Each structure stands twice: as C-alpha cells, then as structure tokens.
Structure 1
Amino acid sequence: MTIIQMMRAGALAVVMAGSIGLALDVSQAQERPVAGKTINGPASWYGGKFHGRKTANGERYNMNEMTAAHKTLPFGTKVRVTNQRNGRSVIVRINDRGPFVGNRVIDLSRGAAAVIDMIQTGVVPVRIDLL
C-alpha cells in the first residue's frame, strides 16, 4: 500500500466515523501492550465524584473495583502496579483515560489505591508491569 493509499484510507475512516457520530482523537491512540514492559512514574487515584459515571470505554466507574486510567494502553490491558515506597502491588484492568495532571503515569481506582496503601498520600512513585 502506498503512502497516498494509506492517507486515503485514513481519511475515509475519519469521514465514516464522523458520519456516524464518532470522534477520533489520534493523540490518544492506543499503544500495543508488550508483556514485560515496565513504566515508572507517579501514580494518583480517583474515587468519589466519579463513582457511577461512565468511563472512557463506556462502562460505569466503580471506585471499589481493581481498575485504572492510562493515557494510551488499550482498554482491557492488565498491569501490575507496585508502590515503590512499600513494595505492595495490585493487578488492575485499564478501563479509562488519564491521568491528565503533571507527569503522572496512571490513575488508580480507590479500591486499587487502598490495596497498595496510597489513599492518604495521594500520589506515590510506582512501577507498572504490563502483563
């Protein structure tokens, strides 16, 4: 397929998506997960005011489930998140987009944050292992 053909195919996808009311945001394209890949950085958590609202993948957010928001990992991806301050870890499923604050790499549900003991701290350094 030539570059011109690829561009036309992409334009067609955008036009078709627009005609059925879908918005495509290429800045948040999902990256293909690679098992064993590690991401390090600060994590935060979200809860109360989002409980019951729809997540980016369309399901209802339950702050007590083991879920998380990530900017680019595909929905359904499972990752192990380890609090680097205390060594505690939790396995979560990506079901939302974010975080959109500073350099944070993941936003955990309240339930997942409780497992790794970060509720009071709010933001902690973590290691994320793609499973």
Structure 2
Amino acid sequence: MHYVTNYESYDDDNLNVPYQLVYAQSSEHVRDQYEDRMKSTNKDSPYKRYGKDKFITVRVISVNKLNDNTVDVKFEKTLHDRATNTEQVAQKEAIIKWEFSTAETSQKMLDRDPLGFKVTYYQTSQVSLET
C-alpha cells in the first residue's frame, strides 16, 4: 500500500514527493498528525532524529481487509545508517480507514489524488514476533 510507504519512509534526499502524496491523500485530521510528526521543530521528527546519515525504507508484508473502508497493514520498517552501513528492522502494523471525497480541490491536489481517496484514520503499533 503506497500510502503506508509514503507515510512511514524517510530519506532527506527525497522528502518532497512522499510528503505531498500523504498530504493530498489525508483527511484534515490525519494531515495535521502527519505535519506535526514531520515538522523540523519537532525534536522527534525524522529530520531531527536521522538527518542526512540515515534513511528509512518500508516493505509492506500483508494487507488484510477488516471491512469496506478499513485495512490492517503489516509492514517492515528498516532504518539504514549510511555511516556504519548497518540496518535496524522493526515489524509494524497500521490500521487505516478511508473514504472517497468529492469535495472541490485544486488541480495540483487532483494530480496527486485523482480519485479523492482520503485516509481518515491512521494508527501504527509495534508487532512482537516472540512466541
């Protein structure tokens, strides 16, 4: 699911496109959450935590439909360190709810989200692999 990949990934060399896509495909509430998370003034933002030396990639493992507008997405989030050439992998899960909006919008937003897909709820949690 591209939304999860854009929302969760981070690379200082490629911030603009994922940010714009998440912005275009999010409801106002989810957009505000994302903006707060990404602000350079937030001490926990990816920019502050990882800077230019680290980047995050995302690999979606599974998508399970819970109902007509809700999915459970399992994914791996890998933190890559350019300086040490090491990786840290975390197993994550996201619950995503969405709707299709027909509200008027700008051409720029339509180019990024032509179907009016809007995520209305986005929550992630750590997945434990211990048995």
TM value normalised by structure 2:
0.21
Structure 1 or 2: larger helix share? 2
Q: Larger RCO: Structure 1 or Structure 2 (Cα < 8 Å, ≥ 6 residues apart)? A: 1
TM value normalised by structure 1:
0.21
Structure 1 or 2: larger strand share? 2
Greater Rg, structure 1 or structure 2? 1
